[in-house]
Structure 1
Amino acid sequence: MTVVPAERMPALYLSHGAPPLADDPVWPGQLAAWAAGLPRPKAILMVSAHWEEAPLALGATAAAPLVYDFRGFPEHYYQVRYEAPGAPRLADSVRKLLGGAGTPVQDVPDRGLDHGAYVPLVEMFPDADIPVLQISMPTLDPQKLLGIGRRLAPLRDEGVLIVGSGFFTHNLAALRHAGGQVPGWSAEFDAWGREALEARDIDALLDFERRSPAGRLAHPRTEHFAPLFVTLGASGDGAEERRDVIDGFWMGLAKRSLQFG
Protein backbone atom coordinates (compact mmCIF):
# COMPACT_ATOMS: atom_id res chain seq x y z
CA MET A 1 0.00 0.00 0.00
CA THR A 2 1.33 3.43 -0.94
CA VAL A 3 1.45 5.88 1.93
CA VAL A 4 0.54 9.38 0.83
CA PRO A 5 2.56 11.97 2.79
CA ALA A 6 0.64 14.64 4.64
CA GLU A 7 0.61 18.11 3.17
CA ARG A 8 3.20 20.28 4.87
CA MET A 9 1.43 22.69 7.14
CA PRO A 10 2.36 26.33 7.69
CA ALA A 11 3.39 27.68 11.08
CA LEU A 12 1.31 30.47 12.61
CA TYR A 13 1.66 33.19 15.20
CA LEU A 14 -1.64 34.77 16.11
CA SER A 15 -2.84 37.43 18.47
CA HIS A 16 -5.57 35.58 20.32
CA GLY A 17 -7.65 38.25 21.99
CA ALA A 18 -9.63 38.00 25.20
CA PRO A 19 -12.97 36.17 25.47
CA PRO A 20 -14.90 39.23 24.13
CA LEU A 21 -13.14 38.71 20.78
CA ALA A 22 -16.18 36.57 19.91
CA ASP A 23 -18.33 39.71 19.95
CA ASP A 24 -16.03 41.82 17.76
CA PRO A 25 -17.66 42.71 14.41
CA VAL A 26 -14.48 42.07 12.38
CA TRP A 27 -11.89 39.87 14.05
CA PRO A 28 -13.78 36.52 14.21
CA GLY A 29 -14.42 36.74 10.47
CA GLN A 30 -10.74 37.40 9.83
CA LEU A 31 -9.76 34.31 11.80
CA ALA A 32 -12.39 32.18 10.07
CA ALA A 33 -11.27 33.31 6.62
CA TRP A 34 -7.66 32.58 7.53
CA ALA A 35 -8.50 29.03 8.59
CA ALA A 36 -10.60 28.46 5.47
CA GLY A 37 -7.53 29.15 3.33
CA LEU A 38 -5.30 26.66 5.18
CA PRO A 39 -4.80 23.00 4.32
CA ARG A 40 -6.81 20.90 6.74
CA PRO A 41 -4.54 19.95 9.65
CA LYS A 42 -4.32 16.39 10.93
CA ALA A 43 -3.71 17.89 14.37
CA ILE A 44 -3.00 21.26 15.96
CA LEU A 45 -0.16 22.01 18.38
CA MET A 46 -0.87 25.12 20.47
CA VAL A 47 1.67 27.18 22.42
CA SER A 48 -0.23 29.79 24.43
CA ALA A 49 0.99 32.82 26.34
CA HIS A 50 -1.15 31.64 29.23
CA TRP A 51 0.67 28.45 30.11
CA GLU A 52 4.15 28.71 31.55
CA GLU A 53 5.38 25.58 33.24
CA ALA A 54 8.74 23.86 33.51
CA PRO A 55 9.71 21.27 32.54
CA LEU A 56 7.81 21.64 29.30
CA ALA A 57 4.37 20.14 29.88
CA LEU A 58 2.00 18.31 27.57
CA GLY A 59 -1.63 19.07 28.24
CA ALA A 60 -4.61 16.76 28.16
CA THR A 61 -4.71 14.10 25.47
CA ALA A 62 -8.25 13.06 26.40
CA ALA A 63 -11.36 15.09 27.18
CA ALA A 64 -10.70 17.73 29.83
CA PRO A 65 -12.58 20.91 30.79
CA LEU A 66 -11.42 24.21 29.36
CA VAL A 67 -9.36 26.49 31.58
CA TYR A 68 -11.29 29.75 32.08
CA ASP A 69 -8.19 31.67 33.10
CA PHE A 70 -9.80 35.12 33.41
CA ARG A 71 -11.93 36.97 35.92
CA GLY A 72 -14.65 39.58 35.92
CA PHE A 73 -16.28 38.77 32.59
CA PRO A 74 -20.01 38.18 31.97
CA GLU A 75 -21.18 34.67 32.73
CA HIS A 76 -21.70 33.58 29.12
CA TYR A 77 -17.96 33.64 28.49
CA TYR A 78 -17.63 30.86 31.08
CA GLN A 79 -20.17 28.73 29.20
CA VAL A 80 -18.07 28.44 26.03
CA ARG A 81 -17.19 24.86 25.12
CA TYR A 82 -14.59 23.49 22.71
CA GLU A 83 -14.57 19.71 22.87
CA ALA A 84 -11.85 18.91 20.35
CA PRO A 85 -10.41 15.39 20.34
CA GLY A 86 -7.19 14.86 22.23
CA ALA A 87 -4.00 14.16 20.32
CA PRO A 88 -2.11 11.32 22.03
CA ARG A 89 -0.15 10.42 18.90
CA LEU A 90 0.99 14.01 18.57
CA ALA A 91 1.99 13.99 22.23
CA ASP A 92 4.14 10.91 21.58
CA SER A 93 5.83 12.69 18.68
CA VAL A 94 6.51 15.78 20.79
CA ARG A 95 8.03 13.62 23.53
CA LYS A 96 10.37 11.98 21.03
CA LEU A 97 11.41 15.20 19.31
CA LEU A 98 12.04 17.15 22.49
CA GLY A 99 13.14 14.37 24.81
CA GLY A 100 15.58 13.08 22.23
CA ALA A 101 17.14 16.53 22.07
CA GLY A 102 17.55 16.72 25.83
CA THR A 103 14.50 18.84 26.65
CA PRO A 104 12.69 17.42 29.70
CA VAL A 105 9.00 16.76 29.12
CA GLN A 106 6.24 16.10 31.64
CA ASP A 107 2.57 15.21 31.30
CA VAL A 108 -0.28 17.19 32.89
CA PRO A 109 -3.19 15.01 31.76
CA ASP A 110 -5.98 17.06 33.36
CA ARG A 111 -4.88 20.42 31.92
CA GLY A 112 -7.42 21.57 29.33
CA LEU A 113 -7.08 24.31 26.75
CA ASP A 114 -6.79 27.85 28.12
CA HIS A 115 -8.28 30.92 26.49
CA GLY A 116 -5.11 31.59 24.49
CA ALA A 117 -5.85 28.31 22.74
CA TYR A 118 -9.60 27.90 22.57
CA VAL A 119 -10.65 31.52 21.91
CA PRO A 120 -9.04 31.59 18.44
CA LEU A 121 -9.80 27.92 17.74
CA VAL A 122 -13.53 28.50 18.27
CA GLU A 123 -13.42 31.05 15.44
CA MET A 124 -11.01 29.19 13.16
CA PHE A 125 -12.15 25.57 13.51
CA PRO A 126 -15.63 25.81 15.07
CA ASP A 127 -16.53 22.16 14.46
CA ALA A 128 -13.90 21.15 17.05
CA ASP A 129 -13.18 17.99 15.05
CA ILE A 130 -9.39 18.30 14.76
CA PRO A 131 -7.21 16.84 17.54
CA VAL A 132 -5.53 19.56 19.62
CA LEU A 133 -2.54 19.36 21.95
CA GLN A 134 -1.42 22.31 24.05
CA ILE A 135 2.10 22.46 25.41
CA SER A 136 3.53 24.84 27.96
CA MET A 137 6.34 27.35 27.59
CA PRO A 138 9.06 26.15 29.96
CA THR A 139 10.86 29.48 29.70
CA LEU A 140 10.40 33.00 28.30
CA ASP A 141 13.94 33.05 26.93
CA PRO A 142 13.50 33.80 23.20
CA GLN A 143 16.60 31.86 22.17
CA LYS A 144 15.47 28.72 24.01
CA LEU A 145 11.96 28.98 22.58
CA LEU A 146 13.45 29.36 19.12
CA GLY A 147 15.28 26.10 19.71
CA ILE A 148 12.10 24.34 20.80
CA GLY A 149 10.39 25.53 17.63
CA ARG A 150 13.24 24.18 15.50
CA ARG A 151 12.92 20.76 17.10
CA LEU A 152 9.15 20.74 16.58
CA ALA A 153 9.41 21.75 12.91
CA PRO A 154 9.30 18.16 11.52
CA LEU A 155 5.73 17.85 12.79
CA ARG A 156 4.66 20.16 9.99
CA ASP A 157 5.52 17.43 7.49
CA GLU A 158 3.11 15.14 9.35
CA GLY A 159 0.19 17.51 8.84
CA VAL A 160 0.47 19.28 12.20
CA LEU A 161 -0.43 22.96 12.37
CA ILE A 162 1.94 24.66 14.84
CA VAL A 163 0.38 27.76 16.39
CA GLY A 164 2.05 30.26 18.69
CA SER A 165 -0.73 32.20 20.39
CA GLY A 166 0.09 35.51 22.04
CA PHE A 167 -0.51 39.20 21.36
CA PHE A 168 1.80 41.38 19.28
CA THR A 169 1.58 44.11 21.91
CA HIS A 170 0.27 43.55 25.42
CA ASN A 171 0.19 46.05 28.27
CA LEU A 172 -3.25 46.19 29.82
CA ALA A 173 -2.23 48.54 32.63
CA ALA A 174 -0.94 51.20 30.24
CA LEU A 175 -4.09 50.95 28.12
CA ARG A 176 -6.10 52.47 30.95
CA HIS A 177 -4.41 55.77 30.20
CA ALA A 178 -4.88 55.62 26.43
CA GLY A 179 -8.41 57.02 26.38
CA GLY A 180 -9.63 54.47 23.86
CA GLN A 181 -6.99 55.43 21.29
CA VAL A 182 -4.11 53.34 19.93
CA PRO A 183 -1.25 54.37 22.22
CA GLY A 184 2.03 55.44 20.64
CA TRP A 185 4.00 52.62 22.21
CA SER A 186 1.69 50.02 20.67
CA ALA A 187 1.82 51.54 17.18
CA GLU A 188 5.58 52.04 17.32
CA PHE A 189 6.32 48.50 18.44
CA ASP A 190 3.95 47.05 15.85
CA ALA A 191 5.68 48.97 13.05
CA TRP A 192 9.12 47.97 14.31
CA GLY A 193 8.13 44.32 14.58
CA ARG A 194 6.70 44.28 11.05
CA GLU A 195 9.92 45.77 9.66
CA ALA A 196 12.11 43.34 11.62
CA LEU A 197 10.09 40.40 10.33
CA GLU A 198 10.25 41.69 6.76
CA ALA A 199 14.02 42.01 7.08
CA ARG A 200 14.24 38.57 8.73
CA ASP A 201 16.28 40.23 11.44
CA ILE A 202 16.09 37.41 13.96
CA ASP A 203 18.83 38.94 16.11
CA ALA A 204 16.79 42.11 16.57
CA LEU A 205 13.64 40.16 17.39
CA LEU A 206 15.48 38.02 19.93
CA ASP A 207 16.71 41.21 21.61
CA PHE A 208 13.42 43.06 21.22
CA GLU A 209 13.36 44.39 24.78
CA ARG A 210 16.42 46.54 24.08
CA ARG A 211 16.35 47.06 20.32
CA SER A 212 12.71 47.98 19.75
CA PRO A 213 11.06 51.32 20.44
CA ALA A 214 8.95 51.18 23.58
CA GLY A 215 9.65 47.47 23.87
CA ARG A 216 9.24 47.40 27.63
CA LEU A 217 5.96 49.28 27.36
CA ALA A 218 4.65 47.05 24.60
CA HIS A 219 5.61 43.98 26.63
CA PRO A 220 6.32 44.77 30.30
CA ARG A 221 6.23 41.01 30.73
CA THR A 222 7.15 39.06 27.65
CA GLU A 223 4.84 36.05 27.72
CA HIS A 224 2.59 37.32 24.92
CA PHE A 225 5.48 37.89 22.50
CA ALA A 226 7.32 34.71 23.49
CA PRO A 227 5.18 32.24 21.44
CA LEU A 228 6.38 34.03 18.30
CA PHE A 229 9.80 32.48 18.80
CA VAL A 230 8.41 28.95 18.75
CA THR A 231 6.73 29.81 15.45
CA LEU A 232 9.91 31.37 14.08
CA GLY A 233 11.94 28.30 15.03
CA ALA A 234 9.40 26.01 13.37
CA SER A 235 9.68 28.07 10.16
CA GLY A 236 13.44 27.91 9.73
CA ASP A 237 14.04 31.00 11.87
CA GLY A 238 11.53 32.90 9.79
CA ALA A 239 13.23 32.06 6.49
CA GLU A 240 10.04 30.83 4.84
CA GLU A 241 7.63 33.02 2.95
CA ARG A 242 5.68 35.14 5.45
CA ARG A 243 2.26 36.72 5.24
CA ASP A 244 0.85 39.21 7.70
CA VAL A 245 -2.67 37.81 7.58
CA ILE A 246 -4.23 40.11 10.18
CA ASP A 247 -3.07 43.53 11.28
CA GLY A 248 -4.57 46.60 12.92
CA PHE A 249 -5.49 47.08 16.56
CA TRP A 250 -8.06 45.83 19.04
CA MET A 251 -8.68 47.94 22.12
CA GLY A 252 -5.30 49.59 21.44
CA LEU A 253 -3.31 46.35 21.17
CA ALA A 254 -1.68 45.22 17.93
CA LYS A 255 -3.41 42.11 16.64
CA ARG A 256 -0.74 41.36 14.00
CA SER A 257 -0.93 37.67 13.09
CA LEU A 258 1.47 35.84 10.80
CA GLN A 259 1.74 32.78 8.60
CA PHE A 260 5.00 31.18 7.52
CA GLY A 261 4.95 28.74 4.64
Structure 2
Amino acid sequence: MVTYPLDRHLAAAVPASRAQHTWTPADGPLPTLYLSHGAPPLFEDTEWMAQLFGWAHRLPKPKAILIVSAHWESAPLSLSSSAAGTPLVYDFGGFARRYYEMTYATPDATALARRVAAAMPDTEPVHEHRGRGLDHGAWVPLKVMYPDGDVPVLQLSLPTHDPHRLLELGRRLRPLRDEGVLVVGSGFMTHGLPFLRRADVEGTAGPPGWSRDFDAWAADALARGDVETLADYAHKAPGMPYAHPTVEHYTPLFVTLGAAEQPDKPVTTTIDGYFMGLSKRSFQTA
Protein backbone atom coordinates (compact mmCIF):
# COMPACT_ATOMS: atom_id res chain seq x y z
CA MET A 1 0.00 0.00 0.00
CA VAL A 2 1.39 3.41 -1.01
CA THR A 3 1.35 6.08 1.67
CA TYR A 4 2.11 9.74 1.20
CA PRO A 5 4.91 11.35 3.21
CA LEU A 6 2.29 13.55 4.91
CA ASP A 7 0.36 10.49 6.06
CA ARG A 8 3.50 9.04 7.62
CA HIS A 9 4.30 12.38 9.22
CA LEU A 10 0.83 12.72 10.74
CA ALA A 11 0.87 9.18 12.10
CA ALA A 12 3.84 10.09 14.30
CA ALA A 13 3.24 13.81 14.80
CA VAL A 14 -0.38 13.79 15.97
CA PRO A 15 0.19 11.74 19.14
CA ALA A 16 3.39 13.68 19.88
CA SER A 17 1.53 16.97 19.47
CA ARG A 18 -1.25 15.84 21.79
CA ALA A 19 1.34 15.15 24.47
CA GLN A 20 3.08 18.51 23.99
CA HIS A 21 3.33 20.87 26.95
CA THR A 22 0.85 23.76 26.58
CA TRP A 23 2.06 27.28 27.30
CA THR A 24 1.52 28.73 30.77
CA PRO A 25 2.55 32.18 32.08
CA ALA A 26 5.49 30.48 33.80
CA ASP A 27 6.97 29.84 30.34
CA GLY A 28 7.31 33.56 29.69
CA PRO A 29 6.59 35.25 26.35
CA LEU A 30 6.64 33.07 23.27
CA PRO A 31 9.17 33.86 20.52
CA THR A 32 8.05 35.16 17.15
CA LEU A 33 8.62 33.12 13.99
CA TYR A 34 9.31 33.72 10.33
CA LEU A 35 8.94 30.59 8.25
CA SER A 36 9.30 29.69 4.62
CA HIS A 37 6.07 27.84 3.99
CA GLY A 38 6.35 26.08 0.67
CA ALA A 39 3.03 24.98 -0.81
CA PRO A 40 1.42 21.53 -1.16
CA PRO A 41 4.83 20.03 -2.17
CA LEU A 42 5.88 20.61 1.45
CA PHE A 43 3.62 17.65 2.25
CA GLU A 44 5.87 15.45 0.11
CA ASP A 45 9.15 16.53 1.74
CA THR A 46 9.82 14.31 4.76
CA GLU A 47 12.87 16.25 5.96
CA TRP A 48 11.22 19.67 5.75
CA MET A 49 8.13 18.47 7.60
CA ALA A 50 10.35 16.99 10.33
CA GLN A 51 12.21 20.31 10.63
CA LEU A 52 9.00 22.31 11.02
CA PHE A 53 7.41 19.90 13.46
CA GLY A 54 10.58 19.61 15.51
CA TRP A 55 10.72 23.40 15.73
CA ALA A 56 7.12 23.61 16.92
CA HIS A 57 7.63 20.77 19.38
CA ARG A 58 10.62 22.46 21.02
CA LEU A 59 8.34 25.35 22.01
CA PRO A 60 5.40 25.21 24.39
CA LYS A 61 2.20 24.63 22.45
CA PRO A 62 0.68 28.11 22.07
CA LYS A 63 -2.73 29.10 23.38
CA ALA A 64 -3.44 30.66 19.98
CA ILE A 65 -1.64 31.51 16.73
CA LEU A 66 -1.74 34.77 14.75
CA ILE A 67 -0.19 34.36 11.32
CA VAL A 68 0.54 36.84 8.53
CA SER A 69 0.83 35.14 5.15
CA ALA A 70 2.30 36.32 1.87
CA HIS A 71 -0.93 35.24 0.19
CA TRP A 72 -3.30 37.75 1.72
CA GLU A 73 -2.39 41.31 0.79
CA SER A 74 -5.27 43.49 1.95
CA ALA A 75 -5.76 46.96 3.32
CA PRO A 76 -7.36 48.05 5.54
CA LEU A 77 -6.04 45.55 8.05
CA SER A 78 -8.19 42.43 8.06
CA LEU A 79 -8.66 39.19 9.97
CA SER A 80 -9.82 35.83 8.73
CA SER A 81 -12.95 34.31 10.21
CA SER A 82 -12.69 33.56 13.91
CA ALA A 83 -15.39 30.87 13.75
CA ALA A 84 -14.38 27.29 14.48
CA GLY A 85 -13.89 25.08 11.45
CA THR A 86 -14.09 27.79 8.77
CA PRO A 87 -13.34 26.15 5.38
CA LEU A 88 -9.83 26.63 4.02
CA VAL A 89 -8.76 28.68 1.01
CA TYR A 90 -7.20 26.47 -1.70
CA ASP A 91 -5.28 29.24 -3.41
CA PHE A 92 -3.06 27.14 -5.68
CA GLY A 93 -3.39 25.23 -8.91
CA GLY A 94 -2.12 22.18 -10.73
CA PHE A 95 -1.73 19.85 -7.75
CA ALA A 96 -3.23 16.48 -6.90
CA ARG A 97 -6.92 16.42 -5.98
CA ARG A 98 -6.20 15.33 -2.42
CA TYR A 99 -4.73 18.77 -1.67
CA TYR A 100 -8.06 20.43 -2.48
CA GLU A 101 -9.87 18.09 -0.10
CA MET A 102 -7.65 18.62 2.93
CA THR A 103 -9.08 20.13 6.08
CA TYR A 104 -7.62 21.93 9.07
CA ALA A 105 -10.48 22.66 11.42
CA THR A 106 -9.19 24.83 14.26
CA PRO A 107 -11.12 26.00 17.36
CA ASP A 108 -12.97 29.27 17.78
CA ALA A 109 -10.59 32.26 17.83
CA THR A 110 -13.02 35.02 18.83
CA ALA A 111 -11.01 35.94 21.92
CA LEU A 112 -7.87 36.41 19.84
CA ALA A 113 -9.75 38.51 17.26
CA ARG A 114 -10.87 40.85 20.04
CA ARG A 115 -7.34 41.16 21.39
CA VAL A 116 -5.90 41.96 17.96
CA ALA A 117 -8.55 44.60 17.31
CA ALA A 118 -7.93 46.15 20.73
CA ALA A 119 -4.20 46.35 20.02
CA MET A 120 -4.70 48.59 16.99
CA PRO A 121 -5.10 52.38 17.10
CA ASP A 122 -8.37 54.04 16.18
CA THR A 123 -6.78 55.08 12.91
CA GLU A 124 -6.31 51.42 11.91
CA PRO A 125 -9.56 49.54 12.52
CA VAL A 126 -9.54 45.80 11.88
CA HIS A 127 -12.17 44.20 9.67
CA GLU A 128 -13.08 40.53 10.13
CA HIS A 129 -13.87 38.65 6.91
CA ARG A 130 -16.35 36.17 8.35
CA GLY A 131 -16.33 33.91 5.32
CA ARG A 132 -12.57 33.78 4.76
CA GLY A 133 -10.60 30.82 6.01
CA LEU A 134 -6.85 30.29 6.19
CA ASP A 135 -4.92 30.36 2.91
CA HIS A 136 -2.14 27.91 2.07
CA GLY A 137 0.56 30.20 3.47
CA ALA A 138 -1.06 29.57 6.85
CA TRP A 139 -2.69 26.14 6.87
CA VAL A 140 -0.01 24.22 4.97
CA PRO A 141 2.84 24.83 7.47
CA LEU A 142 0.51 24.79 10.49
CA LYS A 143 -0.94 21.41 9.51
CA VAL A 144 2.63 20.11 9.70
CA MET A 145 3.59 21.95 12.89
CA TYR A 146 0.35 21.56 14.88
CA PRO A 147 -1.26 18.62 13.09
CA ASP A 148 -4.12 18.00 15.51
CA GLY A 149 -5.68 21.39 14.71
CA ASP A 150 -6.26 21.98 18.42
CA VAL A 151 -4.91 25.56 18.58
CA PRO A 152 -7.09 28.56 17.63
CA VAL A 153 -5.65 30.26 14.53
CA LEU A 154 -6.32 33.65 12.99
CA GLN A 155 -4.77 35.06 9.85
CA LEU A 156 -3.95 38.75 9.67
CA SER A 157 -3.72 40.42 6.29
CA LEU A 158 -0.54 42.02 4.98
CA PRO A 159 -1.73 45.64 4.60
CA THR A 160 1.47 47.16 3.19
CA HIS A 161 5.01 46.28 2.13
CA ASP A 162 6.56 49.27 3.89
CA PRO A 163 9.05 47.69 6.34
CA HIS A 164 8.67 50.38 8.99
CA ARG A 165 4.87 50.21 8.97
CA LEU A 166 5.08 46.44 9.32
CA LEU A 167 7.57 46.77 12.17
CA GLU A 168 5.08 49.05 13.91
CA LEU A 169 2.29 46.55 13.29
CA GLY A 170 4.43 43.86 14.88
CA ARG A 171 5.19 46.13 17.84
CA ARG A 172 1.48 46.48 18.54
CA LEU A 173 1.13 42.70 18.52
CA ARG A 174 4.06 42.22 20.91
CA PRO A 175 1.97 42.03 24.13
CA LEU A 176 0.12 38.99 22.77
CA ARG A 177 3.25 36.92 23.25
CA ASP A 178 2.87 37.35 27.03
CA GLU A 179 -0.53 35.69 26.71
CA GLY A 180 0.70 32.58 24.95
CA VAL A 181 -0.02 33.76 21.39
CA LEU A 182 2.47 32.68 18.74
CA VAL A 183 3.00 35.45 16.17
CA VAL A 184 4.14 34.08 12.81
CA GLY A 185 5.22 35.69 9.55
CA SER A 186 4.88 33.20 6.68
CA GLY A 187 6.66 33.74 3.38
CA PHE A 188 9.71 32.33 1.55
CA MET A 189 13.18 33.78 1.93
CA THR A 190 13.59 33.73 -1.85
CA HIS A 191 10.67 33.36 -4.24
CA GLY A 192 11.84 33.94 -7.79
CA LEU A 193 9.48 31.41 -9.34
CA PRO A 194 9.56 32.96 -12.85
CA PHE A 195 13.34 32.58 -12.95
CA LEU A 196 13.67 28.95 -11.90
CA ARG A 197 15.27 26.56 -14.35
CA ARG A 198 14.10 23.02 -15.05
CA ALA A 199 17.20 21.77 -13.22
CA ASP A 200 16.16 23.77 -10.13
CA VAL A 201 12.69 22.25 -10.09
CA GLU A 202 14.04 18.75 -10.64
CA GLY A 203 16.72 19.22 -8.01
CA THR A 204 19.59 18.36 -10.34
CA ALA A 205 21.42 21.69 -9.94
CA GLY A 206 22.51 23.85 -7.07
CA PRO A 207 20.43 26.90 -6.20
CA PRO A 208 20.58 29.81 -8.65
CA GLY A 209 23.15 32.49 -7.88
CA TRP A 210 20.46 35.09 -7.18
CA SER A 211 18.91 32.82 -4.56
CA ARG A 212 22.24 32.01 -2.89
CA ASP A 213 23.33 35.65 -2.87
CA PHE A 214 20.09 37.00 -1.41
CA ASP A 215 19.98 34.26 1.22
CA ALA A 216 23.57 34.92 2.31
CA TRP A 217 22.87 38.66 2.53
CA ALA A 218 19.72 38.12 4.61
CA ALA A 219 21.45 35.58 6.86
CA ASP A 220 24.26 38.03 7.58
CA ALA A 221 21.92 40.94 8.35
CA LEU A 222 19.70 38.77 10.56
CA ALA A 223 22.71 37.43 12.44
CA ARG A 224 23.76 41.02 13.18
CA GLY A 225 20.26 42.25 13.99
CA ASP A 226 20.63 44.84 11.25
CA VAL A 227 16.98 45.74 10.70
CA GLU A 228 17.75 48.87 8.68
CA THR A 229 19.78 46.90 6.14
CA LEU A 230 16.97 44.36 5.86
CA ALA A 231 14.49 47.20 5.38
CA ASP A 232 16.59 48.68 2.57
CA TYR A 233 16.52 45.43 0.58
CA ALA A 234 15.51 47.18 -2.63
CA HIS A 235 18.87 49.00 -2.73
CA LYS A 236 21.18 46.71 -0.75
CA ALA A 237 20.15 43.12 -1.38
CA PRO A 238 22.01 41.19 -4.08
CA GLY A 239 19.96 39.00 -6.36
CA MET A 240 17.11 41.49 -6.70
CA PRO A 241 14.69 41.52 -8.38
CA TYR A 242 15.18 37.86 -9.26
CA ALA A 243 15.00 36.69 -5.65
CA HIS A 244 11.74 38.61 -5.17
CA PRO A 245 10.11 39.90 -8.35
CA THR A 246 7.28 40.79 -5.97
CA VAL A 247 8.08 41.15 -2.30
CA GLU A 248 5.10 39.68 -0.42
CA HIS A 249 7.07 36.55 0.56
CA TYR A 250 9.84 38.65 2.11
CA THR A 251 8.04 41.45 3.94
CA PRO A 252 6.18 39.31 6.53
CA LEU A 253 9.51 39.02 8.34
CA PHE A 254 9.12 42.65 9.45
CA VAL A 255 5.99 41.74 11.40
CA THR A 256 8.01 38.95 13.01
CA LEU A 257 10.85 41.31 13.91
CA GLY A 258 8.53 44.07 15.09
CA ALA A 259 6.77 41.72 17.51
CA ALA A 260 10.12 40.67 19.03
CA GLU A 261 11.16 42.09 22.38
CA GLN A 262 14.24 43.59 20.69
CA PRO A 263 13.79 43.78 16.91
CA ASP A 264 17.46 44.57 16.39
CA LYS A 265 18.71 41.55 18.32
CA PRO A 266 20.30 38.71 16.29
CA VAL A 267 17.81 35.96 15.46
CA THR A 268 18.10 32.19 15.73
CA THR A 269 18.00 30.44 12.36
CA THR A 270 16.06 27.19 12.72
CA ILE A 271 15.85 25.97 9.11
CA ASP A 272 18.10 26.70 6.15
CA GLY A 273 18.87 25.06 2.81
CA TYR A 274 16.89 25.17 -0.42
CA PHE A 275 13.77 23.75 -2.03
CA MET A 276 13.64 23.85 -5.84
CA GLY A 277 16.42 26.43 -5.63
CA LEU A 278 14.49 28.69 -3.23
CA SER A 279 15.84 29.51 0.23
CA LYS A 280 13.93 27.86 3.08
CA ARG A 281 15.60 30.08 5.70
CA SER A 282 13.35 30.37 8.73
CA PHE A 283 14.07 31.90 12.13
CA GLN A 284 12.76 32.80 15.55
CA THR A 285 13.32 35.83 17.73
CA ALA A 286 13.43 36.15 21.46
Contact 1:61 1:86 (8 Å CA) reproduced: yes
Secondary structure of the residue aligned to 2:120 is helix
TM-superposed CA distance for 1:86, in Å, is 2.7
2:111 aligns with one of 85, 89, 94: 89
CA distance in 1, matches of 2:245, 2:198: 15
Contact 1:60 1:86 (8 Å CA) reproduced: no
Task: Choose 91-100 or 189-198, whichever is displaced more.
Answer: 91-100
Contact 2:223 2:266 (8 Å CA) reproduced: no
Contact 1:246 1:258 (8 Å CA) reproduced: yes
CA distance in 2, matches of 1:4, 1:258: 23
Contact 2:189 2:280 (8 Å CA) reproduced: yes
Unaligned runs of 5+ in 1: none
TM-score by length of 2: 0.87
Higher relative contact order (CA 8 A, sep 6+): 1
CA distance in 2, matches of 1:80, 1:104: 32
The match for 1:221 is 246
The match for 1:185 is 210
In angstroms, what is the RMSD of aligned CA positions? 1.6
1:64 paired with 2:86, answer yes
CA distance in 2, matches of 1:25, 1:155: 32
TM-superposed CA distance for 1:178, in Å, is 5.5
1:37 paired with 2:58, answer yes
1:20 paired with 2:41, answer yes
Secondary structure of the residue aligned to 1:223 is coil
TM-superposed CA distance for 1:148, in Å, is 0.2
CA distance in 1, matches of 2:142, 2:234: 29
Secondary structure of the residue aligned to 1:209 is helix
Equivalent AA in structure 1 for residue 181 of structure 2: V
Secondary structure of the residue aligned to 2:255 is helix
The match for 2:9 is none
Contact 2:69 2:252 (8 Å CA) reproduced: yes
1:73 paired with 2:95, answer yes
TM-superposed CA distance for 1:38, in Å, is 0.5
CA distance in 2, matches of 1:99, 1:42: 24
TM-superposed CA distance for 1:200, in Å, is 1.2
Give the % identical residues: 53
Contact 1:87 1:133 (8 Å CA) reproduced: yes
Unaligned runs of 5+ in 2: 1-23
Contact 2:25 2:178 (8 Å CA) reproduced: no
TM-score by length of 1: 0.95
The match for 1:136 is 157
CA distance in 2, matches of 1:12, 1:103: 24
